[in-house]
Structure 1
Amino acid sequence: MNITPMLPLPILIPVLGVALALVVWQVIRHRGTRLAREWSLRLLMLLLLAAVALRPGVGGTEPGPAAEGGLEVYFVVDTTSSMAAEDFGDEGSPRLSGVRADISALAQTLAGAEFALITFDSSAVQRMPLTSDLSALRSAVTVLTQEVTNYSAGSSIDASTELLTRVLADAEEAHPDRPRVVYYFGDGEQTVATEPGSFAALEPSIDGGAVLGYGTEEGGRMLSYDGYADMYSESTYIQDFTTTPPTDAISRIDETRLQSIADQLGVSYEHRDSGQGVDSLVRGIEFETPDVTTETGTAPTELYWILVIPLLALLVREWIGLARALRETRGVE
């Protein structure tokens, strides 16, 4: 038997404790009267509700233990609209499709490491903290999407530096002896008026990695994104309103800027295309690989739904009683 509380226990226990105390007091107060029976049933409802809130279950196995103590890998991904440009691979796929494939391949090659995912467009967000759970990383990468087109405020290739600096500093303070590598995924396109800042301050905090570039000099069109991508979304391309009439906007890779980022970080730069391996991206990265358990965890069989049945029956009885009381009150008036 195990429990998976719907709320943290430090919150759940005091709330339930106060409610139980009040109901028990009412039972004692009306002892020997008809109301004592009513409050006893309410006490039973509260106990059932408490049991449901604890979500009891049986069986299930925990996933294999996460590997710790080895390499820390930070994936930094550009999710600005330009990463939706359809010039990746022979089939003209969006650049982000190449990013997803490369992150997956790197994670498999570096199995046993811990991975973190940071994305940036108008602002930077840590999508996933350090974890060695490859399934969690896979889920996070699968849902990577470009920014919502209407919210786009231009792109800057250095938008992740402040967050990445803070994350690396915290990691170094927690585990000073661990090696850390950073992989930067982007197209180098700088559309804001200001020049990007430098990544050089991060170089002492990392032990390797790479800058990976996506896109072509010819460029590609970018589908707009409304944040939903459902049957009601329109498949239209982002427009360039600097021309008359407006035309489909074209995004082109800027490898000069990407090479500059690589130089500042002290890592290599590599242009990426479909079908490429990742051996060159992990060359020279050495770390002690902990034992990694690949056993897949299974969810426990939850039992709380069984308790919901009598709870609902008691609630229906309570509602009927309340409806009768209200009707009688109106009759008196």
Structure 2
Amino acid sequence: MAQRTALITGITGQDAAYLAKFLLEKDYRVVGTYRRTASSNLWRLEEMGVLDRVELIPMDLLEMTNVVRVIQKVRPSEVYNLGAQSFVGVSFEQAVYTSQVNAIGVCYLLEAVRALDGAARFYQASTSEMFGKVREEPQNEDTPFYPRSPYAVAKVYAHYMTVNYREAHGLHASCGILFNHESPLRGREFVTRKITASLAKIAHGQQDVLELGNLEAKRDWGYAADYVRGMWMMLQHPHGDDYVLATGESHSVREFVDKAAECAGFRLAWEGEAVSARGIDRASGKTIVRVNPDFFRPAEVESLRGDASKARRVLGWQPEVTFEQLVEIMMRADMDRAARGRLLHLRF
């Protein structure tokens, strides 16, 4: 059997690093694309030990001719579109740019795949944020979308465009509606990694306090390595389709903080409510967690919990890492980084 080639957009991101390692272990040729401005942000591939095994190609999702040339040059058997403006908070300030990259950029990719010969299997990174103001719980593939951010609105467009190319042009195209999936490779702009990195720095005397937004927001948090396995499984199925990947459990930001603090050696006592809430270290009496109203979203998504029964039934996928294990994995990694002074470096 000839070696398969996978093209991964957004190769500098968390999911791409885990996916690249996963595919290399299956003897794929892995080609990753990145924006030229992100060329120095390759630390995740370094952390995974695969930087020297991934072919890197600059590509801008907003330049159609660039996208077409890359697809023609690489001739991938599988395309994993993980490239995006992926921070929900930023999308409120950069709504137009987010819409261009996360929506129109996907259309460019789909058209490039179709124009070549339509043989490449295509994965679109959809998101649980599309459910937004949820209509039912848990959410599955048939739950109506109600996006609550420019990021989520753009992802809904990309989702349905992928479905349309599958139905109208016969592409083997799948959408993974992934609920929150985290790891030590998460960027520190995401709340889970902000929590673990900040608590690790506090534990090592490198920071005084962790400031957060809505402590009561609930999410279905899983481990990124489990979820990239699901991406690959979607493209191995004979037909493209849409799948929710989730743990089926929902935990609040406050619960994540409590568990992470415990792993860092703190026992928190909570005082106050809403924006006045504070997490106090029982041993020292110091406030190490507090709420900052500036971190609240203009339109909040209060609770998300996924139903991945279709992925279990059709693909045989299920998560292997529990919520508690995930927090411990992330906290141990950041405690180690803080001990070595690595969290003082911006890229981590």
TM-score of the superposed pair, with normalisation by structure 1: 0.33
Q: Which has the higher contact order (CA 8 A, sep 6+)?
A: 1
TM-score of the superposed pair, with normalisation by structure 2: 0.32
| Structure number with bigger Rg | 1
